[in-house]
């Protein structure tokens, strides 16, 4: 069985905190790879001035291009519509029965697990791996393997706010992502 980590999210934009989190889980669990899976339409996040799904997929690909154990998983964007993890994992596990999936979430998502769509059924399909985030309790009644990783207080919201106010995002996102944001005029840079 191949051991595959999945890091889902809006990646609006992807930042170095995402990369650190994925790498820490990859290393701690000895995974074969970690797939970054941008969602098409997230069920609980939508903000003004969002990048398009295609922009987010491009930025995610740019952010992981130099990491051989990171892969882009376009499954949810190609599927379109609202992205529910249960539906995605039901289809992924059916199409890749030789893989054991580890779904990577931050502490803020751990706190919300009991509100996830079909969470009990989802628990049958994946193992959840949690990474603490600042200001989250990372508490749930569901089984989540917690990985000890450096706490990085970095969010896509902070990146968007900095871009909108014409402040630096250097060292917060990969250089290629910053260049793409500037060249495409994302997040109010035009």
**C-alpha count within 13 angstroms, C-beta hemisphere, residue 103:** 22
2-44 per-position pLDDT tens digit: 999 999 999 999 999 999 999 999 999 999 999 999 998 755 5
Radius of gyration of the chain (CA): 16
For the whole model, what pTM was predicted? Answer: 0.91
Give CA separation, 188 vs 54, 88, 164, 166, in Å: 17, 32, 5, 9
Instruction: Give the pLDDT score at 76.
Output: 92
């Amino acid at each position: 069985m191949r051991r595959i980590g999945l890091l889902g999210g809006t990646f609006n934009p992807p930042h170095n905190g995402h990369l650190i989190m994925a790498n820490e889980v990859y290393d701690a669990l000895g995974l074969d790879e970690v797939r970054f899976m941008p969602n098409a339409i997230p069920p609980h996040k939508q903000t003004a001035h969002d990048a398009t799904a295609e922009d987010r997929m491009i930025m995610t690909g740019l952010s992981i291009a130099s990491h051989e154990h990171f892969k882009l998983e376009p499954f949810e964007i190609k599927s379109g519509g609202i992205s529910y993890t249960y539906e995605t994992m039901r289809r992924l596990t059916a199409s890749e029965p030789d893989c054991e999936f580890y779904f990577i979430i931050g502490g803020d998502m751990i706190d919300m697990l009991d509100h996830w769509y079909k969470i009990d059924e989802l628990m049958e399909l994946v193992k959840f791996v949690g990474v603490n985030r600042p200001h989250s309790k990372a508490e749930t009644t569901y089984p989540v393997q917690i990985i000890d990783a450096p706490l990085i207080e970095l969010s896509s919201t902070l990146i968007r706010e900095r871009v909108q106010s014409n402040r630096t995002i250097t060292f917060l996102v990969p250089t290629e992502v910053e260049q793409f944001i500037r060249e495409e005029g994302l997040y109010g840079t035009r």
